[in-house]
Structures are given as structure tokens and as C-alpha cells.
Structure 1
């Protein structure tokens, strides 16, 4: 096994003290008034010997590992995948490396991921919190660990967050369907106490009531762990058995993809039999025979803002930053 090169080896080769080598390799040559020629020689020898610094020791000296922990609901979901990509790029600009994990909407898995990342001594967290994870977030805040919530937040916890204005997005999505002549508008949403899902449902319900369409308000709750089964039952009731709906608002892209699959299998035509509007983009929407109208979240802005807020916190800011971003409605053929 090849011997690891140390600062002592470099000092011996150059003919200077180990302390002098340390000053140069840690960027303190000007502060310690090390001559330019000597500094250049130390750097050249370090490169020639393929010197690699001990990152653990460096972290202990600096009190920072220059790493960020990011926990998302599901890294396979295009929404979170794109968000993670932008977070990584933005964090790198500030010198940070990002370690990722997926909670799969499980507070148990989320807790285990937080413990693992804490053991890795990350400097801060960007978290898409799972349902029931309130105590985990409180514990991080009590330990003075910088944390930013993204996509959803807990109203009872004072912490920085970057989210979509979900109520407004849902309200305007329903307005679009109404403007197209639809009245029997149903909504499919996850069964959840998380604020983003509750706000999406509230926006739908309030807009329907404003238009005196109370009789047609139908919210089908889908269990995350029984997605296909619950979607099938809901769609059968809405579009086959009782034909309660002439339009459906899906609260996420995963729900809409499962719903569209059911419609294709059962010969339900979009938008002739049932209009469709979804939250979040999906590449598959554009390939569907009736490209899907959807609420586009500003994923890049969500990611960039969350990194910006977290970096400020890690650099000593004690400000609680609350960011709500606007959506765009991408109008295609699934609503007629």
C-alpha cells in the first residue's frame, strides 16, 4: 500500500518547517509573511508528491465540513430530482458538497437520515419534510443546526422555508377549468396533514364555493402507500361508475400519471370524457395524445433560494426567512 504523503514529507523535501508548509497549504502565506518563492516551491512539491489534505482534520480545525444534507420525498420524482440538481450546483458555487437522501414520505426514514447526516457533521440541512417530522425539525433548531424547509413547512414551527404559494396555484387552476365551462370538477390529493397538500385542497374548495358549485365539490384522498389501488377506485367512481366529474385536478404529477394510466386502460378520453389539470410538470405530459395542462412550480428558483437562505444561516445569520413563490399555468390540450 502506497504511503500517504504528509506535511512533514513536503517540509523535508523543501527544507523548511512543517508549520511553514501548513501556513501555505491553508492559504495563510501572506498573513504569515511567507516569501512568494518559498510558497510556490511548497505548492509545487505538494503537487509533485500528490499530497491530499486530511479532510477530517481540516474540518475539525475550521469547525466546518463544507457539506450540506438534503432530504427529499423521492429523488426519483422529476420534481425533486431537478431540485436536487440545482441545489448541488448552487451549493458548489459557495464551496459546499451536498449529500442526498430520500425519505419516501416516511418520518421514520427521515429521522434515520437526519441521524446519519448529523454523524457526517453536515453544516446545515435543506429538507422536504415528511408528515410527522415536526419533532425532528425542532430538535435540529434546538441544537442550533441551520435548516431550511423547502416545498412544504410546519406552521407551528418558526423556521426558514421556501415554498410555492399552493393555495393561489390551486385556486387559479380551478378558475381555468371553470373558464373552460367545467363545473363538476373533482380533486385527487394525498391523504396528508402536510400544509402544501391542505393548501391545494383549500384553494380548490374555496374557488368552487365562490362559483356556487358546492354540490360538485369532491375530494378523493389517496394513500401514498396504496397509490395504484386508491387511484383506480377514485377514477372508477368519478369517470366510470357514477360519472360524477367532467374534470379532475390532480394535486401532484405522480397522482396524475397514475390517473392517466387508468384512463388509457379504461378507454376514458381526455378531454372529451374527462378534462385533466395537474400540479407539477412531467416529461410524459407532452407525449400524451392530449398534452396535459399543469401548474408549473419554479423549481430552479425554489432550489436557488433555499441554498441562498441556508448559506446565510450557516454564515451566522439568525434571520428566519419565509419565501412564497408564484406559479405558472402551462395551458395545453387536456382541458379542451
Structure 2
């Protein structure tokens, strides 16, 4: 393995002290009164030798590495992939590099990523927490490590968090369905105590209540993240079963649930929106292959990313960081799938 080029190697090549090289490479040649010619020569030799600074050592010395750690739930999900890319661009604008990791909604992976990023001396963390990871977050608070939660949080833990207004988004989606004549609206969500899912479920129930519709427990299906494809398929079949008063509309709490559910709906030859109204939380490229355009809740990912980075940097740069809860509004992109049920349309 080729030896890493050090400041000492550059100093020996130029014929100056390591301290002088350090001043130049850290942009402090004026403070050290280093001549322009020697500074230029040091930079040229560093470039010729392909010198790469040791960020960990630099971080230990100066207290900063200008790197951030980002832990998302599932980087293969287009939602998190887009968030990660937007966060990377926002961080770059502020002179930071981002290290990525995917927890896959698993506690042990989440902890391993936190440990790995902290060992790399990142200046702060942006985390999409997994269910049951409250103790991991509490430990970060205890240690005084700058972090911000994104997309979801914990109802009984005060932390900086940047989230969509999940309650209002789902409330508006269900209201759109009730306004269009649907009365038996089901929902499929992930089974988790995390705030984003709980807020979406509450928004669903509140919208039904305000529309004068009595919620029925059989309309709400919660599926685990593990083996969710099979569980979603089973939930859809139960909700549309003609033998047990089937629902006339469905809202899906995530795009991953939506994609799996649409496969079953298509296989059952249901006509959307006449037989079944549909709205998804978040979009998916797979929607383009469905025969009818899907209505979906569009989160403002650029704003979420921007606020997450800005909130974290404020915490990093503050002697007494404040807890901030940032709520980002979303919009509904209306397709055919939530359209009015013509066969039940009431003509006044």
C-alpha cells in the first residue's frame, strides 16, 4: 500500500519546517509572514505529491472537520435519495461535506452508523430516527453532540426536528376524498410509534370525524416494515373484500406502501377512481406505469433539506444551541385517482 503523503514529506521536499507548511496549507501564511514565493512553492509541491489532508487529525486539532453525518431510513427509497442529494448540495454551499448511511429501519444499523460517524469526527448529525432509537438520541443529547432529526421524531423527547406538517397533509388528502363523495375510506400505514406516522393517522381520523363519518377500526391497517410487501398485499385484499363491506377509497401513508398496493389493486381489476379512490403520501416513479394518474401528497424536499442543514449548522456554531421544531408545509398534486365517483354523484 502506498504511503500517505504527510506535511513532513512536503517540508523535506521544499526545505522548510513542518510548521511553515502547515501555516500555508491552512491559509495562514500572512499570520506567519511567509513570503509569496515560498508559499507558492509549498502549494505546488503539495499538489505534485497529491497531498490529502487528514481530516480526522485536523478535526482533533482545530475542533472541526467540516463534515456532517446523514443517516436516512432507506437510501433506496427515492424520497430519501432525493433528500440526501438536496442535503449534500445545501451542505456544500456552506463549505461542508456529507457522509451518508442507511439504517434500513434497524436499531443496530442506526447505532453503528452513529458510532462510525462520530469516530470520523463529524461536526454534527442529521438523523431520520428508527423506531426504538430514543435512547440513542438521548445519548447524543447527553454528550452535547450537535444533531437534528428529520422527517420524524419522538413525541416525548425534546429535540431539534425538521418535518412536514404530516397531520395537515393527510387531513387535506382525506378531505379531498370526502368532498368527492367517498364515505368508506381505508388507510394503510406502517406500525411505528414515530411521530410522522402517528400524525398522519391522526390527520386521517380527524378528517373523517369532521366529515361526519364514523371511523371503523377495520379501515385502518398497520403493517410492519419487515416483510411489508406481503403484509400490504394482505391488507389491501382485506379492505376491498366484497364479502365484508369493502372500502370505497384508500390512502397510503408512504410511497413504498402505495407501490405495493397498486399492484394488488391492478391485479384485482378494480377501476380507479370509480371502484376505488386512491391518494398516496409521497410520489413514486412507478406511478407513471399505472393506467390512471395518482393523486399524491408532495413534500417540499428542498425546503426540508435546507432547513435541516441550517438548523444543524446553527447548533454547531452556537455556544448554547436552542431546540427548534421546524414545520414545512406540503401540497397535494391532484390526479385522476381521487376524482369524483360519478356513479354516486348527487345532483341537487
TM-score band, normalised by shorter chain: over 0.9
Question: 2:175–2:211: 8 Å Cα contact kept in structure 1?
Answer: no
Partner Cα separation in structure 1 for residue 292 and residue 250 of structure 2:
14
- Quick one: structure 1 residues 7 and 255, their matched pair in 2 at CA, closer, same or farther if it must change by over 3 Å? closer
- Alignment of 1:138 with 2:138, yes or no, is yes
Checking the alignment, whether the CA contact within 8 Å between 2:208 and 2:215 is kept in structure 1 is no
Is it true that 1:329 corresponds to 2:332 in the alignment?
yes
User: d(CA) in 2 for partners of 1:188 and 1:4?
Assistant: 53
CA contact (8 A) 2:148 2:162 kept: yes
Partner of 1:258: 260
Shift of 1:322: 1.0
Listed as ranges, the matches of 1:1-336 within 5 Å are 4-214=4-214, 218-241=219-242, 242-316=244-318, 318-336=321-339
Residues 220-279 of structure 1, C-alpha deviations (whole Å, 9 max, x = no match): 111221323322222122213324211101111111111101111221221121110010
Change (3 A) 1:167 1:45: same
Q: Structure 1 stretch 33-42 or stretch 46-55: which is displaced more?
A: 46-55
Q: TM-score, normalised by structure 2?
A: 0.91
| TM-score (normalised: structure 1) | 0.94
- Which position in structure 1 is the counterpart of 2:342? none
Unaligned runs of 5+ in 1: none
Pick closer, same or farther for the CA change 1:111–1:51 going to 2, 3 Å: closer
Report the secondary structure of 1:121's partner residue.
coil
Q: Deviations over 1:134-163 (max 9, x none)?
A: 110000010010010000011222211100
Q: How many residues align?
A: 336
Relative to structure 1, is the Cα distance of residues 34 and 287 closer, same or farther in structure 2, using a 3 angstrom cutoff?
A: same
* Deviating more after overlay: 326-335 vs 56-65: 56-65
2:284 and 2:145 mapped to 1: Cα distance? 34
CA displacement 1:93-149 (0-9 Å, x = unmatched): 222222222222222321222222222222211111111111100000100100100
Distance in structure 2 (CA, Å) of the matches to 1:81 and 1:46: 36
10 and 130 in structure 1: CA distance in 2 versus 1, 3 angstrom threshold = closer
